[in-house]
Structure 1
Amino acid sequence: MIRGVRGATTIPEDLSSHILIETEKLVLTMAKENNIRPEDVASVIVSTTTDIGAAFPAKAVRSIPDWTYVPVMCTHEMDVPGAINLCIRVLMQVNTEKTQRDIHHVYLNEAIKLRPDLLNI
């Protein structure tokens, strides 16, 4: 079964170092929380709000040891008025036996505002 694991984080400003550090932290936290091994990952889609452009977040994913060959693609989110700024979102498609209810979605920094309903699950 392939399941989607969601995550999001924010950065303080559009700098390459912030993008790479926070994306790696998010992906590693998602993997740890869900016992995901790189070989279980079918693909990863990383999106950013349109105010991020200093670096490709996919570079951070590919730089993680053993994640080099995981297919990763970057894209931009829709530019919706009032949406959270400087946000990086990850959708990881993972081969797993877990049910959807057992998946732990990860929201870091200001991105916790996106899914407060998942904080206490």
Structure 2
Amino acid sequence: MSVRGIRGAITVDVNEEQPILRATIELLNGIVADNGIVPEDICSVMVTVTGDLDATFPARAIRQMSDWELVPLMCALEVPVKGSLERCIRLMVHVNTEKKQHEMRHVYLGGAQVLRPDLTKA
């Protein structure tokens, strides 16, 4: 068994609580579905947001999901690089798995697809 990281990102149109929470759930559900994992497999989730998203903590959305109450979550601000993608939520999901690194499916949704076009589904 190894610990692997699964990356993901999504953008929101506005800095408002509900769009941020919905986008976080959409992204996490995509990562879970694409990788066939369950909360019990998860070691922890690191959540970052760009500085322009301060209406809520995205981790609140995860905490409210069924069976995610015990998964360790941490929120942080993304490094504020000039010209970087705005209104972006990123997840780094650390998972216990038998899968190899190349088998991990990273998920980039919405405007965040520009971050890693090489990992974005066609």
TM-score by length of 2: 0.97
- Superposition map of 1:5-16 within 5 A: 5-16=6-17
Cα displacement (A) at 1:68: 1.0
Is 2:109 the counterpart of 1:111? no
SS of the equivalent of 1:26 reads helix
1:88 matched residue in structure 2: 89
Q: Is the aligned partner of 1:79 residue 2:74?
A: no
Mapped to 1, the partners of 2:45 and 2:121 lie a distance apart of 25
Counterpart-to-counterpart distance in 1, 2:55 and 2:119: 30
More helix by share: 1
Q: Tell me how far 1:119 sits from its aligned partner.
A: 2.4
Distance 2:65 2:103 in 1: 25
What's the counterpart of residue 63 of structure 1? 64
User: What is residue 36 of structure 2 aligned with on the other side?
Assistant: 35
Counterpart Cα distance in 2 of 1:67 and 1:25: 15
Runs of at least 4 residues off by over 4 Å: none
SS of residue paired to 1:117: coil
Give the residue type in structure 2 aligned to 1:100: Q
Structure 2: any 5+ residue segments left out of the alignment?
A: none
- What secondary structure sits across from 2:118 in the alignment? helix
Distance 2:29 2:65 in 1: 8
Per the alignment, in what secondary structure is the counterpart of residue 81 of structure 2? coil
Aligned pair in 2 of structure 1 residues 120, 55: CA closer, same or farther (>3 Å)?
closer
1:117 alignment partner AA: D
* Counterparts of 2:31 and 2:104, CA distance in 1: 10
What percent identity do the matched residue pairs reach? Answer: 45
Are 1:53 and 2:71 matched, yes or no?
no
What is the Cα-based RMSD across aligned positions, in Å? 1.0
